[in-house]
Structure 1
Amino acid sequence: MAKESAKAGLLRSSAVVSLMTLLSRVLGMVRDMVVASHFGSSAAADAFFIAFKIPNFLRRLFAEGAFAQAFVPVLSEYRTKRSLAEVKLLVDRTAGMLGLILTLITVVGVLAAPYIVMLFAPGFHDDPAKLELAGELLRITFPYLLLISLTAFTSGVLNTYGHFAVPGFTPVLLNVCMIASALFMTPYFEEPIKALAWGVFIAGFAQLAFQMPYVARLGLLPRPRVKRHDDGVRRIMLLMVPALFAVSVSQINLLLDTVLASFLQTGSVSWLYYADRLSELPLGAFGIAIGTVILPSLSRQHAGDDPRGFSSTLDWALRMVLLVGLPAAVALAILAEPLITALFHYGAMSQEAVIQSARALEAYALGVLAFMLIKVLAPGFFARQDLKTPVRIAVTCMVANMAFNLILIWPLQHVGLALATSLSSMLNAFLLLWGLRRIGVYVPEPGWWLFGLRLVGGCVAMVVAILWLSAPVAEWFAWGWERRALHITLLVVVGILAFVAGLLLLGLRPRHLRH
């Protein structure tokens, strides 16, 4: 009963995080629609996406990736085995060291912005105006790294204590700020795209301020202190080094896509951005949610010497990810053009841009399930504070991604970059799973063959329903936004209903999701 209750608790917590994240992702789609309508895939849009991607990449790599995976297991151990005063001291000293390091990085980033742009988008060197604009925008957006990393720190505290709703809702504020800046601030700038950069800057302050009262209620509002030789801080920093590679390989691969795309025709960076945003919808709405929820649980199970519970939690998480990730990947692949058209084909977004973005989305869709699996498999290592295995896997996959990029970019252009990212993510997920199985940390529970059969049957029912209702892409181009919105909603709703009906007809019941 305790095991079943724990799984039900994980399911409820995952549902809360998924709901909050889905709200953020929906607003993110609205944000991207506004940006696409105002700026399309112009040179200014390319410049902004680079300036936004750099701190956003570092945020995912450093804050939500390496830091979260290193901080939460140590904090969970302190919570399980030590007093509240010792936990508070760890929080204070971690905040002090983290704040100091991030402040130094931010100062360097702002001062060296043009050179960082040249590093991340060397293809801009042939377009001095775009290079200069990207550098100016990066000076405005780079401090977001400091602010959002501190927000990730407070999120880690809240998640460790079972408070998932507030961190899940926080990203909504970024989208609200960027939408407001695009709609209301652009007339006040000689270069309108700068309004978006200031929207990112403002959002950093808003997100950090939003979480502080909730951390204070736990009695853990940080008073930053710097002590280099604190044992807990030292362990967190040691864990962060390999986590930089192991958790965020997919983000590094996406960044490599952007670097290479900067050498391709104008618009390539934007096409990959719009496609990536849609491919991340299921990842953010559920994959990251599951990974966020299970990490504290896995950390406590490891600290409490409960290997059976540890394996059972991983097994449940894998099934939940497959239940959402497989149909999501299939739907993104077959609805790529309708989705891009319905969301972005307005204003400055041309038909050619829609087609090119859709081609990239089809390639990214192949890796959606792998992206999601990585988010639940990596915590299996870091909850155990295993450093070496994820690093080896990360390095292998980075090398593989670079090789795939070089092979595929010439015949497929930007689509080849997206495909390379998907292939390397598949390799990453496979190696992580194989590693957990090899050391005996994860032992699959009974029923996987039947679960897989039901899952495939549900996906077949979904595909048949969607193809039956689909219209040629030329008709989508001719429709107004109302017709597009109505038809894409119909396709999504009918697809979900057909998938669920297929699962039910094959015998899957809600109780199967709890044990």
Structure 2
Amino acid sequence: MANLLKSSTIVSFWTMMSRFLGLARDIVLANLLGAEGRADIFLLAQKIPNFLRRLFGEGAFATAFVPVFSEYHEKRTKEETVLLLSKVSGTLGGFLFLITMVGVIVPQLLMGIFGYGFYHTDPEKFFRASELLRITFPYIFFISLVAMYSAVMNTLNKFALPAFAPVLLNLSIIGMALFVAPHMEHANVALAWGIFIAGILQLLLFFPFLWKAGYLPKPRWAWKDSSVQRIFKLMLPVIFGASVSQINLLIDSQIASFLEEGSISWLYYSDRMLEFPLGIFGIAIATVLLPTLSKYFAKNDMQHFSGTLDWGLRMVLMIGIPAAMGLLWLAEPIMISVFQHGAFDAHDSFKAGQSLQAYSLGLIAFMMVKVFLTGFYSRQDPKTPVKIGIIAVVSNIVLNLALFKPFGHVGLAIATSISAFINAILLYRYLHKHDQLKISKSTALWILKLVIASGLLLVGLWYFDFSIEQWQAWSRIEAIGMIIATISATIVSYCVLLSLMGIRPKHFKLSHY
């Protein structure tokens, strides 16, 4: 059990490296495209396959596949486990190929579903976005297979490679932006090819490691196989339940396509900053929790099952609470320091900062949802999150329609945050009611200490705050230096405050509780 902290640290490290490169990628994009119409076009063409990746690959398939694969790995022979992997990879690959062909042949159909506002307001923009989608869409084929192989490696307790793979996507896009885009008439076309190339590179990365471990499958079609059907039956409801937040974000993009130019870009850049704490810690902890919880459930060890889930909640709150407060207060300065350069101007920083503040209100809920869902999927119960997810998505749609006219793109971000809390509260209520997650007195005291420490940090940020005019007056180097110094000082202060409250490194280990 103590290895969970080590595994989470490994995943967090490589995820952090990927996020930093992702930040570099987004800085390059902001400098190259700004938040103009061409940026909206590329970002939407990128978001559609990325959404489907999280829906089919990281969301539905991974959460349905891991419990079954873990069961085979624990109770069956290696030959039977590899045979299952061959059948699943062949069947999944077949379906993915058909889906990919739809996106390549008729991209206008998908663009109409996810970006109808372009067609309604600017048919030329709609056509150009559809042509970019024709290039980016095959990414769903490659990356969904990568998600399956990542699940295999995670089950084998090899967490570093899956966490490293996204680095290749960032490097590919940065490379195309720096070395190819300047020589093309439309820079966003070069960026789209960067996504396509990255998908191939990420898939090829896994082959030598799977071969060395003896788990490189020979794909075979096996739709009628009982275990394959079991996985896909689990997968169907999880498609909705595991990706509620992604569905909400895509609904935001659909409505944003009707708003003023730049709205999609402002939401994208603010969401990318939110992905730092969410991806580095929230998703990383959930990644290592799923196979561990699956093993405990397979052994019917519900005491350790509940304790592990409780540990995951404590860990994400330790990061989520101060991160949410920090992003709320420093939203616009972060946008000024990181993105304001080239085509990305002060107006864009202001607008993106507004939506980042709105998204930061839901950061804690986004993190908790990641943890709570592992409790359901490790028990192969995808139906309950679907029912709860429907409530959250309907709430998001209603709130979107109520808020987008008076508040524009900020209203969409507020709606997403509120719906995330609705989702998290309902998931926790179910787990608590069925004795699968109990917040002990020690956990309640832990949360109280985190809130107090984070509140003191917010007071410090308020006291030492600079005006937006001052942030704008600084050179970019000065602004970056100041934001790094501010965040670094905040992290050190937070650690000191936790230490003064009696929280020690040993308390981070699952075995301590």
After TM superposition, the score normalised by the length of structure 2 is: 0.98
What residue in structure 1 maps to residue 186 of structure 2?
A: 191
Question: Given residue 462 of structure 1, which amino acid in structure 2 is its aligned partner?
Answer: L
Q: Tell me the residue number matched to 1:112.
A: 106
Which string of whole-angstrom CA distances, capped at 9 and with x for unpartnered residues, describes residues 38-78 of structure 1? 11011111000110000000001110000010000100000
In the alignment, structure 1 segments of 5+ residues that lack a partner are 1-5
* C-alpha distance in structure 2 between counterparts of 1:444 and 1:307, whole Å: 15
Matched, 1:417 2:412: yes
Task: Count residues with an aligned counterpart.
Answer: 509
Letter in 2 for 1:426: F
Matched, 1:66 2:60: yes
Note the C-alpha offset of 1:144. Answer: 0.5
Residue of structure 2 equivalent to 1:373:
368
Match of 1:280 in 2: 275
Match of 2:38 among 36, 41, 44: 44
2:387 is matched with which residue: 386, 392, 405?
392
Which residue number in structure 2 is paired with residue 215 of structure 1?
A: 210
Q: In the TM superposition, what whole-angstrom CA distance separates every residue of 1:401-453 from its partner, at most 9, and x where no partner exists?
A: 11111111111110000000000000101111111111112223341232122
Given the alignment, which residue of 240, 259, 268 partners 2:263?
A: 268
Which residue of structure 2 lines up, in the alignment, with residue 349 of structure 1? 344
Are 1:241 and 2:252 an aligned pair? no
1:88 aligned to 82, 85, 93, which one? 82
Alpha-carbon distance between aligned partners in 2 of 1:56 and 1:297, rounded to the nearest angstrom: 27
Determine if the alignment matches structure 1 residue 471 to structure 2 residue 458: no
Q: 1:321 matched to which residue of 2?
A: 316
Letter in 1 for 2:84: L
Q: Which residue does the alignment assign to 1:436?
A: 431
Cα deviations by residue, 1:105-124 (Å, 9 ceiling, x for unpaired): 00011111122112211110
CA RMSD of aligned residues (A): 0.9
Indicate if the aligned counterparts of 2:238 and 2:383 stay in contact, CA closer than 8 A: no
* Fraction of identical pairs, as percent: 48
Q: Which residue of 2 aligns with 1:3?
A: none
In the alignment, structure 1 residue 136 sits paired with structure 2 residue 160: no
Counterpart of 1:170 in structure 2 is 165
Quote the Cα distance in structure 2 between the aligned partners of 1:167 and 1:388: 27
Offset at residue 79 of structure 1 (A): 0.6
Query: How far has the Cα of 1:457 moved from its partner?
Result: 2.0
CA distance 1:100–1:37, change in 2 (3 Å): same
Correspondence for 1:448 among 429, 433, 443: 443
Aligned equivalent of 2:251: 256
Q: Determine the structure 1 residue equivalent to 2:457.
A: 462
Cα distance in 1, alignment partners of residues 479 and 208 from structure 2: 42
CA distance in 1, matches of 2:303, 2:282: 23
> Is the 1:360–1:415 Cα contact (8 Å) retained in structure 2?
yes
What residue identity is the alignment partner of 1:29? L
Structure 2 residue ranges without an equivalent (≥5):
none
CA contact (8 A) 2:257 2:263 kept: yes
- Say whether residues 1:296 and 2:321 are aligned partners: no
8 A contact 1:24–1:172 mirrored in 2: yes
Q: C-alpha offsets along residues 16-51 of structure 1, whole Å, 9 cap, x if unaligned?
A: 100100111111111111000011011111000110
The equivalent of 1:103 in structure 2 is: 97
Q: What is the CA-CA distance between 1:391 and the residue it aligns to?
A: 1.2
Deviations 1:150-181 (A, max 9, x none): 11111010001100001001101100111111
Asked if 2 retains the 8 angstrom alpha-carbon contact of 1:19 and 1:285, the reply is yes
Task: Determine helix, strand or coil for the equivalent of 2:259.
Answer: coil
Look up the match of 2:358.
363
